Amino acid sequence: MKWFLVGLLVAAALLLWRVSAASKRNAPRAGELAPDFALPDQDGRTRSLADFRGRWLALYFYPKDDTPGCTRQACAFRDDRRKLVALGAEVVGVSVDDVESHLGFARTFGLPFPLLADAKGVVAARYGSVRNFGLIRLARRNTFLIDPQGRIAKVYLSANPSRNSQDVLEDLQRFQRK
């Protein structure tokens, strides 16, 4: 019985690793056109990629509202927002949580940018940023820096929630010096 359970755990781990690896392969790469999206934000307003044309966009996917890592990441983007806007960039967060959850999260932490509700995970899948565990679906913590023409400039797979905003700022500065 013990070996059966160990085998079952190993099989489950391999399956999760395989799903994770496949998801990373599906993420758009730097230089490619960013996949389009149209999703409701925390206020119920539909936002699309076209809304941000002509500006840089930090589009970040995160697993769940009101969790420690996601809160740290969102608050860092909030705190760096003025610097990002000064560099011509906007920030948009995306998770599979619903509009109501996003509204509470945004209000609790004073988040001044859109949080998009991708309840079915369709957009997250286009960005190679969905984890599907059968009954549970979560977004992967990936960020895509999209240039003003709608092309992916930089991809941050498995972004560090504590450094993600700072990494985006540094890369924006570097891109604008070119």
- Identify the active-site residue in 34, 39, 59, 70: 70
Catalytic site residue 70?
yes
Task: Tell me the two tokens of residue 89.
Answer: 């960039």
> In the structure encoding, which two tokens stand for residue 168, read together?
């985006």
| Cross-strand pairs, 132 | 137
CATH label of the domain that carries residue 134: 3.40.30.10
Q: The domain containing residue 65 runs over which residues? A: 2-177
Q: Tokens standing for 57?
A: 């966009």
Q: What is the pTM of this model?
A: 0.86
pLDDT at 146: 98
Whether 163 has a pLDDT exceeding 80, the answer reads: yes
Query: What pLDDT digit, counting tens, does each position of 76-133 carry?
Result: 999 999 999 999 999 999 999 999 999 999 999 999 999 999 999 999 999 999 998 7
* Cα–Cα distance for residue pair 56/71, rounded to 1 Å: 23
Tally of domains in the chain: 1
Dump pLDDT digits (tens) for 3-50.
Answer: 655 555 544 544 444 444 444 568 999 999 999 999 999 999 999 999
